């Protein structure tokens, strides 16, 4: 019984020491942090991979109702080799504002069987190509080039770095807790970043409503660390 009591007290003391160390780290002053050494330079990401976008009015077919209509704001990649893109995006309603533009929902489209692709402009209405609605949804961040140029160097968020980081972290799309980047495209007016659509919103929206309990914070932070502490050399942020 005496040995069990000793081990229990030792375990309690260890836990108290760990908690104290966490409190000391959390309450460290700027001078103490500075005395700990110079910070590492931010990670330099490679340049983002950006394709050329075509934004057109296109013929879209519904496989459930068998109806067809010409709809505006269909975006796809105009490939340099002239081959057909893997998908197109029918851009829909606005979800939220963004620093450089807005975020909108998209319906993902695929080429209908029998469509003959002859070049970058083949996806437009009147060119003989039809697009079919799929069950897949996407979200697109649309950034206005004029606003990007006006704020470049004046705002802490840089679209190029953001896209580079997202492409590097998502890799082949099998990284846990990271949404893969479907496409990054640009035209003369806009920069488009397409990702899978998540209907429950973003983590920041939950943080805005108040503090998390400790178990909930651990749940989310464990996922962030599972991204940050892999081989990327990067760190996620809320």
Write out pLDDT tens, residues 37-55.
777 766 677 788 899 999 9
Residues 113 and 227 in one domain: no
Does 77 score more than 70 pLDDT?
yes
Strand pairing of 183-186 and 190-196? antiparallel
- Taking the C-alpha atoms of residue 183 and residue 186, their distance in angstroms, rounded to an integer, is 10
Comparing 212 with 141, the larger pLDDT belongs to: 141
Comparing 69 with 45, the larger pLDDT belongs to: 69
Comparing 52 with 218, the larger pLDDT belongs to: 52
Q: Is residue 203 part of a domain?
A: no
Q: Is residue 204 part of a domain?
A: no
Residues 106 and 185 in one domain: yes
Total number of domains constituting the chain: 3
Residues 179 and 238 in one domain: no
pTM for the predicted model, two decimal places: 0.75
Residues 134 and 190 in one domain: yes
Q: Is residue 101 part of a domain?
A: yes
What's the confidence (pLDDT) of residue 58?
Answer: 96
Comparing 151 with 192, the larger pLDDT belongs to: 192
Mean pLDDT of the chain: 82
pLDDT band at residue 151 using 50, 70 and 90 as cut-offs: confident
- Taking the C-alpha atoms of residue 76 and residue 52, their distance in angstroms, rounded to an integer, is 8
Contact 238, 207 (CB under 8 A): yes
Q: Is residue 6 part of a domain?
A: yes
Q: Is residue 45 part of a domain?
A: no
Residues 73 and 183 in one domain: yes
Does 160 score more than 60 pLDDT?
yes
What's the confidence (pLDDT) of residue 212?
Answer: 83
Q: Is residue 44 part of a domain?
A: no
Comparing 186 with 4, the larger pLDDT belongs to: 186
Calculate the CA 60 to chain-centre distance. Answer: 27
Residues 34 and 151 in one domain: no
Does 36 score more than 70 pLDDT?
yes
Q: Which two tokens stand for residue 165?
A: 């980081």
Residues 59 and 166 in one domain: yes
Residues 16 and 121 in one domain: no
Residues 101 and 124 in one domain: yes
Q: Tell me which of 101-115, 175-189, 200-214 is least confident.
A: 200-214
CA separation (Å) from 166 to 78, 79, 176, 177?
22, 22, 13, 12
Residues 185 and 230 in one domain: no
Return the residue matching tokens 């846990």.
176
Q: Is residue 228 part of a domain?
A: yes
Residues 68 and 28 in one domain: no
Residues 175 and 57 in one domain: yes
Does 165 score more than 90 pLDDT?
no
pLDDT digits (tens, 9 = 90+) for 81-122: 999 999 999 999 999 999 899 999 999 999 999 899 999 999
Q: Is residue 206 part of a domain?
A: no
Region 210-231 average pLDDT: 76
Domain assignment of residue 174, given as a range:
51-196
What's the confidence (pLDDT) of residue 30?
Answer: 74
């Amino acid at each position: 019984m005496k040995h069990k009591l000793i081990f229990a007290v030792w375990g309690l003391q260890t836990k108290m020491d760990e908690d104290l160390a966490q409190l000391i780290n959390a309450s460290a002053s700027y001078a103490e942090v500075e005395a700990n050494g110079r910070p590492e330079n931010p990670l330099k990401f490679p340049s983002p991979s950006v394709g050329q976008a075509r934004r057109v009015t296109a013929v879209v077919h519904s496989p459930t109702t068998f109806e067809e209509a010409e709809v505006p704001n269909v975006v796809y990649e105009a490939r340099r080799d002239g081959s057909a893109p893997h998908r197109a995006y029918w851009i829909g309603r606005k979800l939220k504002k963004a620093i450089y533009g807005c975020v909108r929902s998209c319906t993902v489209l695929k080429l209908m069987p029998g469509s003959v692709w002859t070049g970058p402009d083949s996806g437009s209405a009147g060119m003989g190509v039809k697009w079919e609605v799929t069950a897949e949804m996407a979200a697109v961040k649309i950034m206005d080039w004029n606003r990007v140029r006006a704020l470049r160097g004046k705002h802490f968020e840089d679209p190029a770095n953001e896209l580079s980081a997202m492409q590097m972290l998502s890799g082949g799309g099998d990284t846990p807790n990271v949404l893969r980047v479907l496409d990054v495209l640009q035209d003369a007016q806009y920069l488009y970043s397409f990702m899978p659509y998540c209907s429950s919103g973003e983590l920041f929206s939950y943080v805005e409503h108040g503090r998390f309990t400790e178990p909930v914070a651990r749940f989310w932070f464990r996922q962030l660390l599972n991204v940050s502490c892999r081989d990327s050399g990067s760190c996620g942020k809320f």
